[in-house]
Amino acid sequence: MHSCNISKKLPPNQYLLIQNKVETEKPHKKEMLRELQGLYRQKPNSKLFFVFRTKPYFYLKGNQGKDNGYRRFLRDKLGEQAVLLDSGYAQQTTRRMVNYMKSKGYYYAEVTYAVETNKKKQATVTYFVKKHTQYKFGPYYLHIADKEIDQLVREKLNESFVVSGRGLDHDKLYKEQERIVNLLRNNGYYTMSKDFIDFDIDTAFPDNYVSVGLNIRNPDELHTHKKYFVNDVTLEIERSVTGKTIPASDSVKTKRFYYEPNGYRLNPDVLDRNIFFDKGELFKQDNLNRSYGRLADLGIFRFINIQPKPFEQNDSGFVNYYARLIPSGKYDFTLEPQTLTSDQNNTVANQGRNYGIALLAQLMDRNVFRSAEVLQLSYRGSLEAQGQVKTAGFFNSTEQSLTASIIMPRTLFFPTFDRKIGFLSNKTSISLSGIYEINTEYRREVITLGYNYQFNRRLITYNVSPLEISFIKSDIVSDALEERKKDNLFLQTLFANNLIVSSRFGFVYTDKPIAKTDFSVIRWDVLELGGNTITFLKDIFGDNKDQSGRYRMFGINYFQYVKTAIDYRYNDIIDQNNTIVYRGFIGAAIPYGNSPDFVPFEKRFFAGGVNSLRGWRPRSVGPGSYRSDAQLDFSGELKLELNVDFRFNIYNKWLEGALFADAGNVWNVKPAAERPNAHFDPDRFFKEIAFNTGAGVRFNFEILVVRFDFALPMHDPRFAEGKRWIIKNINADWLLNNTNFNFGIGYPF
């Protein structure tokens, strides 16, 4: 590594730039400091593992001797020219920073720099930013030549980005200009653009306030801006589809548009629901944008071009719309071989990982019923080797699944939703799936029928499932497990024939599309109810209960429960190379009514594993501080988990590192004498939090991230109080035996 020190090879009076810093007066916004750091005209070479600058060394070696493929690889792939301090670049950076500060209202900001060097011929440049006083927005004057436009702008001044008393910011003026253009183009002014709008800023006001004058000019001295109205709308399907010629067919005229299908069998009602142009209405830019989005979301077109053609008639403005649509191929077939590693182990008693192979085959049929429906058929077969299970063969588990789903680009039974412009897209899906699984301990068969609505807005996606039915049939094939089942109520419930009839509502929110840097993601399964409808009907009709006091459906046990869970993630992007991601999860599933003792196994919570508490094996933490050598079930009805990842770039963006910590546990709702300390107790739960820390390496190949994490348990609730901080017993043997290795695909959260 000493030979990689490029500094010793520099000629006199040249220094290797190793760091840039910005020092500014507090308080300062995090965003401002980040943007100032982004203005460096000259940046140092990146480091390997935060320590070694190897790229200049490889670049130097690649330029020595006769040029060949190996030297070009060193120079062009592994190397990078050494960044030598250039005072000219430093001066350019100060000018950039001054201009940036002016754009934020600091008209008299001063930026200077100082260079610190050392004996190793390394240089650090520090930029000192003196903000001085910031100007603020004062009066906002409108100078608008057109009376109608003036009235329209004044009516929407409450939405203005220019707010008296707030700091002057040129970005706000650009946003105000864009807001006004959108406002006018959504009120018929098709020809309106930013070229007609500018601002005057006058600093001749006391107390560092500025007046802002908005100017909106007419096209010329003799004419005002015209309002444009929708005239004719023509939708044409391209004749050539996937290289085949489709014979032309007669045009169809509906109340809203002309339709030329050219032999493509698509019901015009589909287009009617997904375009937002009505003859005689004002031109609206939002209607054009939403029509583009809706047509693209149908998933049956590979090319969409909607062209507005303005014209004037009798001194009035009109727009004809012409949409050219090229369909995608009717069928798509994919065959995907897979190698597997998974936390989700199929055996109840085993917390090891699964390894195996699988084959996924998928067929997609577009426009299957001529109303843009998409039929998806998928088959997946896998062979897996379950960890810690001794068997004669390597593969001791197999799972076969077949799924058929119909996705419809509309809200079935609720057509009024389809024309609401606030929704970017609406979908209804009906799916039927079957799973057959057999391993060394049990055989399981599952049939699931699901009915789901999805409503997409700009930042939020709603999911509503009015009905989901799952029938689970399980048979134990292990004599040892059958013996343990006799005295275990949980296993008796799990391996009985069970029915789950549920409804749920949830949403996913993210502000990433509008965030410059930091962003949040919220996934909230707001409410899931199981078994209520069946119980309600049986109560009404006076059905009889069995000997245990429970109803049955078709002679089968069914569950009644309520569940909610929220997952919040915050991405704190420090700079282009460093990010801190925080995650919090809390969930509860409460059994009651027809199944007062247990929530279905599929609906319970687990902790531990590659995406959870990484210091423990999958599904091996909890519930609470309960511990038993014969323990089979580690699930809970309550879950609390907190995670933090510090992610940093190591080399060329594709090699990343991480430092992380995880904390959490699961608990049961009700106390049970046979499982002491497994239930949630407000006076005790914080003592039962499992905690681990660790480090990891990630290979970011853009299309996927391959992750290797190494984690150490620090606080283990399975031990008695006073002995749970197991990290204090650390030594070489302890590290070897307790370091947990995790392999995963994708980031943990």
Q: Is the pLDDT of residue 511 over 90?
A: no
State yes or no: pLDDT of 509 exceeds 90: yes
Instruction: Tell me if the pTM is above 0.75.
Output: yes
Q: Is 587 exposed, middle or buried (0-12, 13-18, 19+ CB in 10 A)?
A: buried
pLDDT tens-digit readout, 292-318: 999 999 989 999 999 999 999 888 899
249 confidence band (pLDDT: 50, 70, 90)? low
Q: Is the pLDDT of residue 263 over 60?
A: yes
Structural contact between residues 428 and 453, judged by C-beta atoms closer than 8 angstroms: yes
Pick from 336, 346, 340, 334: nearest CA to 745? 340
Q: In which residue are the tokens 């053609």 written? A: 309
Residues 6+ apart with CB under 8 A from 440: 347, 386, 389, 391, 396, 397, 477, 478
Residue 341 is predicted with a pLDDT of 60
Nearest alpha carbon to residue 266 among 195, 367, 196: 367
Q: Is 406 exposed, middle or buried (0-12, 13-18, 19+ CB in 10 A)?
A: middle
Query: What separation in angstroms does the CA of 317 have from each of 180, 221, 226, 281?
Result: 20, 19, 6, 12
| Residue type for position 385 | A
d(CA 225, CA 676): 78
Given a cut of 50, whether residue 530 has pLDDT beyond it is yes
State the pLDDT at residue 248.
58
Higher per-residue confidence, 604 vs 395:
604
Q: Is 273 helix (H, G, I), strand (E, B) or coil?
A: helix
pLDDT value for 651: 76
Tokens (6 digits) for 614: 């990484």
Closest CA to 16 of 113, 83, 81, 61: 83
Model confidence pLDDT, tens digit, residues 13-28 = 888 888 899 998 877 7
In this structure, what token pair is assigned to residue 713? 């348990």
Instruction: For domain 228-327, give the fold.
Output: Ubiquitin-like (UB roll) (3.10.20)
Would you state the structure tokens that stand for residue 666, as one six-digit string?
């699961």
Query: Residue 60: which pLDDT band, with cuts at 50, 70 and 90?
Result: confident
Q: Which CATH architecture has domain 2-44+83-130?
A: Roll (3.10)
Report the run of H or E that residue 33 belongs to, with start and end. Answer: helix 30-37
Q: Distance of alpha carbon 630 from its chain centroid, rounded?
A: 40
Angstrom distance (rounded) from CA 509 to CA 175: 24
> What's 255's DSSP letter?
S
The pLDDT tens digits for 76-123 are 777 778 888 899 999 999 999 999 999 999 999 999 999 998 888 889
> Cα(373)–Cα(451) distance, rounded to whole angstroms?
15
Please, which pLDDT band fits residue 51 given cuts at 50, 70 and 90? low
Provide the pLDDT for residue 3: 42
Confidence at residue 485, expressed as pLDDT on a 0 to 100 scale: 75
Which residues, listed in sequence order, are joined to residue 502 by a DSSP beta bridge? Answer: 468, 530
- What phi and psi values does residue 499 have, to the nearest 5 degrees? -130, 130
Mean pLDDT, range 558-565, rounded to an integer: 93
When pLDDT is cut at 50, 70 and 90, the band that residue 241 belongs to is low
| Beta strands, E only, 203-296 | 209-216, 228-237, 240-241, 244-245, 252-253, 258-260
Least confident of 233-242, 453-462, 591-600: 233-242
Residue 348: its pLDDT value, please?
46
CA distance 608 to 606: 7
Domain chopping of the chain, boundaries: 2-44+83-130, 136-216, 228-327
Q: Return the structure tokens found at 721.
A: 């109080």
Q: Are 481 and 441 in contact (CB under 8 A)?
A: yes
As a whole number, mean pLDDT of residues 396-421 equals 86
Average pLDDT over residues 51-67: 75
pLDDT in tens, 566-582: 999 999 988 778 899 99
User: Out of 134-138, 582-586, 601-605, which region has the weakest mean confidence (pLDDT)?
Assistant: 601-605
Residue 151 backbone phi and psi in degrees, to 5 = -65, -40
Distance CA 576, CA 659 (A): 17
Query: Is residue 268 very low, low, confident or very high in pLDDT (cuts 50, 70, 90)?
Result: very high
Cα-based angle 70, 73, 77 (whole degrees, multiple of 5): 165
Question: 695: buried, middle or exposed (CB in 10 Å: 19+, 13-18, 0-12)?
Answer: middle
- Write the pLDDT tens digit of every residue in 129-163: 999 999 999 999 999 989 999 999 999 999 999 99
Lowest pLDDT segment from 53-62, 232-241, 438-447, 471-480 = 53-62
pLDDT of residue 351: 46
CA distance 218 to 184: 13
Span 35-60, average pLDDT: 79
CA 292, 295, 299, 301 dihedral sign is negative
pLDDT, mean over the chain: 86
> Greater confidence, 358 or 369?
369
Q: What is d(CA 622, CA 667) in angstroms, rounded to the nearest whole number?
A: 7
Within 13 A of 197's CA, how many CA atoms are on the CB side? 23
* DSSP H or E run through 342: strand 331-342
pLDDT at residue number 344? 46
CATH classification code of 136-216: 3.10.20.310
Highest mean pLDDT out of 538-547, 718-727, 733-742: 718-727
Distance CA 61, CA 600 (A): 63
| Mean pLDDT of the region 47-63 | 72
Q: What is the mean pLDDT of residues 468-493?
A: 80
